[in-house]
């Protein structure tokens, strides 16, 4: 089994633990995650975020999860950015994006990391979050079975 196939299988198994609305509704999915975590999940648009910083960022505090994203991109891309950050939550990652200093230029990045109590994500965590984000949206996009959907079923993809 290839590394990508193994990653996909792990992400598919994790995804079976969650209810994905069909048709997909981001607010409904966020409410599901917030309920499971027992704390608010707040989406925070930050115009221009992706110019010199990451497209999105998850900041988990003791009281809430905050997902920052760039609303200046296409709606589908903005949704994917949010799903990527939510996937870090669902995968149990605890790293903070290495570009925190660009989001908070007046603060020492080391201080921000200490306050957040997190370290940088690994490349493996980024790949895992990206895979899970794609699977989340793909799972609810099914509707009537297309030829591609039947091929995916035949290959055992969820």
Residues 101-138 have pLDDT tens digits of: 555 555 555 555 444 444 455 688 889 999 999 999 88
Structural domain boundaries enclosing 143:
3-154
pLDDT of residue 125: 84
Q: How far apart are CA 120 and CA 101, in angstroms?
A: 12
Q: How far apart are CA 147 and CA 93, in angstroms?
A: 35
> In this predicted structure, what is the pLDDT of residue 56?
84
What tens digit of pLDDT does each residue of 66-112 get? 998 888 888 998 999 999 999 999 998 875 544 455 555 555 555 55
Average pLDDT, the chain: 77
User: Has this prediction a pTM greater than 0.85?
Assistant: no
Pull the structure tokens for residue 81: 């950015």
Distance of CA 158 to the CA centre of its chain: 18
Q: Tell me the pLDDT tens digit for each residue of 35-75.
A: 999 999 999 998 877 656 667 888 887 788 899 888 888 89
> How many structural domains is the chain composed of?
1
Q: Kindly state the tokens that stand for 148.
A: 């591609």
DSSP 1-26: --HHHHHHHHHHHHHTTS---SS--H
pLDDT recorded at residue 139: 78
């Amino acid at each position: 089994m290839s590394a990508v196939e193994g990653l996909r299988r792990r992400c598919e198994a994790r995804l079976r633990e969650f209810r994905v609305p069909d048709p997909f509704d981001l607010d409904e999915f966020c409410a599901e995650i917030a309920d499971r975590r027992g704390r608010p999940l707040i989406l925070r648009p930050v115009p221009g975020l992706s110019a010199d910083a990451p497209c999105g960022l998850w900041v988990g505090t003791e009281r809430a999860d905050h997902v920052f994203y760039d609303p200046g991109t296409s709606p589908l891309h903005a949704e994917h950015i949010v799903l990527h950050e939510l996937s870090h939550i669902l995968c149990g990652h605890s790293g903070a994006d290495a570009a925190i200093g660009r989001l908070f230029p007046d603060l020492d990045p080391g201080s921000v990391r200490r306050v957040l109590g997190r370290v940088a994500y690994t490349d493996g965590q980024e790949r895992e979050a990206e895979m899970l984000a794609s699977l989340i949206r793909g799972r609810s996009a099914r509707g009537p079975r297309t030829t591609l959907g039947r091929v995916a079923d035949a290959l055992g993809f969820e």
